[in-house]
Structure 1
Amino acid sequence: MNKKKIALFGGSFDPVHTDHVNIAKSCHQNLGFDEVWFIPAYLNPFKVEQHSTIKDRLAMLRIIEQKYDFIRINQYEITNNRPTYTYETLKYITKHYPDFEFAFIMGSDQLDSLESWNNFAELIQLMPFKVFLRDEDHYNKAIVDKYQLEVFTFDNHHLSSTDIRQLQHLNQQIPEINQYVNSHLLYLQERLASVMDAERYLHSINVGKMAQKLAVKWGIDEQKALVAGTLHDIAKCWSWEKHLWYLEHYLPFLVEEPKPIWHSFTGMLHLEKDWLIKDQEILQAVFNHTVGSIDMTWLDKVVFCADKISDERHYPGVEQYRELCFQDLEQGFKELVKMQYEQAVEKHGQNAIGILLTNTYNYFVKGEKD
């Protein structure tokens, strides 16, 4: 009886991406492996930290496992609750699954460090190593020849988890994984803290938390409120040139609105075009968070209010506004619109505050419905 052939594929998978899956597909479709076992690391011995939690990395891998019947997740290294060397993992698996035939899968980018792996002399004898070429022109051919390693190509998009975390090549990422990352606000340090100062980052986190609290209070989707609130100022620190480019390309009529509120519109566009967020409720809440519109949903109002009453705000009267928003969201929203409007008029003059804020004020505060 032939043994079942299993390809072992270890890594951080932070996040798992299209090229990981394409390597697994090649193992199954081209090399004849019955299954591919993804082995997520608790912590890669060559790294000092992971960028997302074990829970999130496993959840993303389970999305992949459900899509492909030949993919399995092996949690040996996760359950060890400590960094685990590949040698230890492979010894454990071969001992506990003696009826299977194994091979170890690696990317060619790991060849340079291969001989420095723990217990390498014994490791290389445990099972065959299959090398997939991340770059067909540049890889350590000397190591391949020295240990007579087999090399293979695959449907290679040249992706990396680092690039994905930094919003690069998301159009080639697995859509379900990208949706999970966005809806769970993973990789905020790479995606938010890198494009805003510490004060703006703290404000963004606080607005997300406040929006979530208000959503819980008023029976609104708290996760959407958390996401929209946290990401509401994603474009706040952009240059005017960058704002202008997005508006001219996608919403040119909004160039006429005051520059200080452009980030509401370009933030929405950035999340839609670059983050690939498809949830229209989240996008609209970001769009409306500064000056609102006459078509405000309850989620819009939650994020609008949270932006004005987040915990780090200390302007006169903010405590009263906070209390009101938790007592009567509609009235709290109207009072905050009134405050926003009056401050804008005082600072910039009636003719320089933009049509959107004027319309919001007239509709909700003055009651002009026509």
Structure 2
Amino acid sequence: MKHIGILGGTFDPPHIGHLMIAEEVRESMDLDEVWFMPSHEPPHKQKAVAETLDRVEMAERAVAGNPHFKVETIEVNRLGKSYTFDTMKLLKKEHPDAVFYFIIGADMVEYLPRWHHIAELVNMVRFIGVKRKGYDLKSEYQVTEVDAPLIEISSTEIKRRLAHNRSIIYMVPEKVENYLKEKQLYEDR
């Protein structure tokens, strides 16, 4: 039986904070793999700035070199709003022998009661909550807490820095930085 962590997000762009969280959860929970799952259209956020194919490519570049990480494109292939319940139904059907762990930040733990079909979802997946400054991991649903190094990096800050021609070195993997420069994503034109 394979134990697989799912880290969903827009990855607009992916950064070292995402990678550190994924590795910490993988190691702490003894997971076989962590799948980075870019969403097409998240139900709780604004639409991504970068095109879907660019976000998938950046995620692929970000996880390259870690044999425990991969990119799962099930949500971007489905189009429309990405509800975790629908995704997990499909993944459970495709991988009946896998145990799935859905990795969420503490901000999302507070939001769990409003997730689409949460009562059924908690029977399909185990939630892993990553501690985050200013948030509590208390929930009526079972959430396993994992401590990860707190790095105050956000995709929003990276986009802001790029728009103002500021450096993002060490904030994203070098392969992602090269892609951003090559495509001139998020730059003020």
What TM-score, normalized by structure 1, do the two folds share?
A: 0.47
Alignment correspondent of 2:185: 186
Bigger relative CO (Cα 8 Å, ≥ 6 apart): 2
Q: How does 1:132-151 map to 2 (within 5 A)?
A: 132-135=130-133, 138-143=134-139, 146-151=140-145
**Deviations along 1:309-347, whole A, 9 cap, x unmatched?**
xxxxxxxxxxxxxxxxxxxxxxxxxxxxxxxxxxxxxxx
Separation in 2 of the partners of 1:158 and 1:132? Answer: 14
Amino acid at match of 1:63: R
Unpaired segments of 5 or more residues in structure 1? 193-204, 206-370
**Deviations along 1:203-244, whole A, 9 cap, x unmatched?**
xx5xxxxxxxxxxxxxxxxxxxxxxxxxxxxxxxxxxxxxxx
Give aligned-pair identity as a percent.
Answer: 28
Alignment correspondent of 2:117: 119
Larger Rg: 1
Alignment correspondent of 2:20: 22
Amino acid at match of 1:107: G
Q: CA RMSD in A?
A: 1.7
Q: How does 1:42-53 map to 2 (within 5 A)?
A: 42-53=40-51
Separation in 2 of the partners of 1:61 and 1:132? Answer: 20
**Deviations along 1:63-84, whole A, 9 cap, x unmatched?**
1232211111111111112112
Give how far 1:161 is off.
Answer: 0.8
Q: How does 1:298-313 map to 2 (within 5 A)?
A: none
Unpaired segments of 5 or more residues in structure 2? none
Amino acid at match of 1:76: I
Give how far 1:169 is off.
Answer: 7.8
Summarize the Cα distance change of 1:141–1:79 in structure 2 as closer, same or farther, 3 Å threshold: closer
Separation in 2 of the partners of 1:108 and 1:39? Answer: 18
Q: How does 1:1-370 map to 2 (within 5 A)?
A: 3-135=1-133, 138-143=134-139, 146-167=140-161, 170-173=168-171, 174-188=173-187, 192=188, 205=189
Separation in 2 of the partners of 1:94 and 1:53? Answer: 28
Secondary structure at the aligned position of 1:142 is classed as coil
Secondary structure at the aligned position of 1:67 is classed as coil
Separation in 1 of the partners of 2:20 and 2:46? Answer: 27
Secondary structure at the aligned position of 1:118 is classed as coil
Could you tell me whether the CA contact under 8 Å between 1:8 and 1:103 is conserved in 2?
yes
Separation in 2 of the partners of 1:165 and 1:90? Answer: 30
Separation in 2 of the partners of 1:153 and 1:117? Answer: 23
What TM-score, normalized by structure 2, do the two folds share?
A: 0.90
Give how far 1:45 is off.
Answer: 1.2
Separation in 1 of the partners of 2:179 and 2:80? Answer: 26
Separation in 2 of the partners of 1:159 and 1:169? Answer: 13
Give how far 1:24 is off.
Answer: 1.3
Amino acid at match of 1:158: E
Could you tell me whether the CA contact under 8 Å between 1:134 and 1:158 is conserved in 2?
no
